[in-house]
Amino acid sequence: ARITLRQLLDHAAEHEYGLPAFNINNMEQGLAIMEAADAVDSPVIIQASRGARNYANDIMLAKMIDALVDIYPHIPVCMHQDHGNGPATCATAIQYGFTSVMMDGSLMEDAKTPASYEYNVDVTRRVVEMAHACGVSVEGELGVLGSLETGMGEAEDGHGFEGKLSHDELLTDPDQAVDFVQATGVDALAIAMGTSHGAYKFTRKPDGDVLAMNVIEEIHRRLPNTHLVMHGSSSVPQELQDIINAYGGEMPQTWGVPVEEIQRGIKHGVRKVNVDTDNRLAITGAVRKILIEKPHEFDPRAYLKPAKDAMRKVCQDRFEQFGSAGHA
Rounded Cα distance between 20 and 311, Å, is 13
Of the two residues 102 and 315, which places its CB atom closer to Na ion in the complex? Answer: 102
Q: Does 241 bind ligand 13P (CB under 6 A)?
A: no
Q: Least Å distance between CB 273 and ligand G3H?
A: 13
Of the two residues 121 and 275, which places its CB atom closer to ligand 13P in the complex? Answer: 275
Q: Which of 231, 272, 312, 318 contacts Zn ion by CB under 5 A? A: 231
* Residue 198 touches which member of ligand 13P, Zn ion, Na ion, none, C-beta under 5-8 Å by kind: ligand 13P
* Residue 286 touches which member of ligand 13P, ligand G3H, Na ion, none, C-beta under 5-8 Å by kind: none
Sign of the CA dihedral running 211, 237, 107, 48? negative
Rounded Cα distance between 27 and 168, Å, is 40
* Residue 275 touches which member of Zn ion, ligand 13P, ligand G3H, none, C-beta under 5-8 Å by kind: ligand 13P
Give residue 269's identity as a one-letter amino acid code. Answer: G
Which residues does 149 contact at the CB level (< 8 Å), separation at least 6?
202, 203, 210
Q: Least Å distance between CB 174 and ligand 13P?
A: 21
Of the two residues 43 and 84, which places its CB atom closer to Zn ion in the complex? Answer: 84
DSSP strand pairing (100-103 vs 77-84) = parallel
Is residue 143 marked as binding? Answer: no
Q: Does 271 bind ligand 13P (CB under 6 A)?
A: no
| Cβ contact 139:90 at 8 Å | no
Of the two residues 144 and 290, which places its CB atom closer to ligand 13P in the complex? Answer: 144
Catalytic one of 38, 82, 168, 179? 82
66 has catalytic annotation: no
Rounded Cα distance between 310 and 286, Å, is 7
User: Which positions lie near Na ion, rule CB under 5 A?
Assistant: 82, 102
The shares of helix, strand and coil residues in the chain, as percent rounded to the nearest 5, are 45, 15, 40
For helices 213-222 and 174-184, the axis angle rounded to 10 degrees is 50
Q: Closest Cα partner for 310 from 22, 19, 47, 32?
A: 32
Q: Does 197 bind ligand 13P (CB under 6 A)?
A: yes
Numbered residues of the known binding site for dihydroxyacetone phosphate = 198, 232-234, 274-277
Active site residues: 82
Q: Binding site, residues?
A: 83, 104, 141, 197-198, 231-234, 274-277
The site for Zn ion (CB under 5 A) is made up of 231, 274
